[in-house]
C-alpha cells in the first residue's frame, strides 16, 4: 500500500523494522553494558517477535503487528532507561532515522549526532 502511494522509504523502514529489532536485541544481549534484568526482557521480546503465534493474527491490517510493536516498544523503553540510548544506537543496523523515531515516540532521546537525521 505504501509503495503504491509513493512512500517507498517508509515501506522499506517498516519491512526492515522487525528483522532489525531482532538483530538489535541479539547484539544487546551480548553487550556487557546491558544489565542482566534488561537482557532477560530482550530475550523475551526476541522470542515474542520471532514467534509465529500472536495475540492478534498478523493478517489483520494495522492491528496485526500491534502486539509485536507494543512488546518491542516496552522492552526498548526499559532498555534505554537501564543501559542508555547510546548503547541502542551503537548496535542498530538499520537506518539511524528509524531508531531515532522509535525512541522519540516512546520518550527516549539519543545522541546529538543522530537527532538531526531523518
pLDDT for 116 equals 42
pLDDT single digits (tens) 17-41: 888 888 999 999 999 999 999 999 9
User: What nine digits make up the cell of 27?
Assistant: 547484539
- In whole numbers, what is the pLDDT of the chain averaged over residues? 78
Structural contact between residues 67 and 54, judged by C-beta atoms closer than 8 angstroms: yes
pLDDT for 36 equals 94
Burial-class residue 97 by CB neighbours within 10 Å (0-12, 13-18, 19+).
Answer: middle
Greater confidence, 76 or 10? 76
The span from the CA of 98 to the CA of 50, in Å, is: 20
The pTM (predicted TM-score) of the whole model is 0.70
What are the residue boundaries of the structural domains of the chain, listed by start? Answer: 17-115
The span from the CA of 61 to the CA of 28, in Å, is: 30
Amino acid at each position: 500500500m505504501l509503495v503504491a502511494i509513493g512512500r517507498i522509504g517508509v515501506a522499506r523502514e517498516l519491512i526492515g523494522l522487525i528483522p532489525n529489532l531482532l538483530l538489535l536485541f541479539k547484539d544487546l544481549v551480548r553487550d556487557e553494558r546491558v544489565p542482566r534484568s534488561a537482557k532477560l526482557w530482550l530475550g523475551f521480546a526476541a522470542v515474542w517477535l520471532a514467534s509465529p503465534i500472536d495475540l492478534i493474527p498478523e493478517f489483520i491490517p494495522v492491528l496485526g503487528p500491534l502486539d509485536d510493536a507494543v512488546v518491542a516498544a516496552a522492552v526498548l523503553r526499559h532498555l534505554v532507561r537501564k543501559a542508555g540510548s547510546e548503547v541502542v544506537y551503537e548496535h542498530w543496523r538499520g537506518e539511524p532515522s528509524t531508531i531515532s523515531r522509535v525512541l522519540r515516540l516512546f520518550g527516549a532521546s539519543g545522541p546529538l549526532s543522530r537527532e538531526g537525521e531523518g
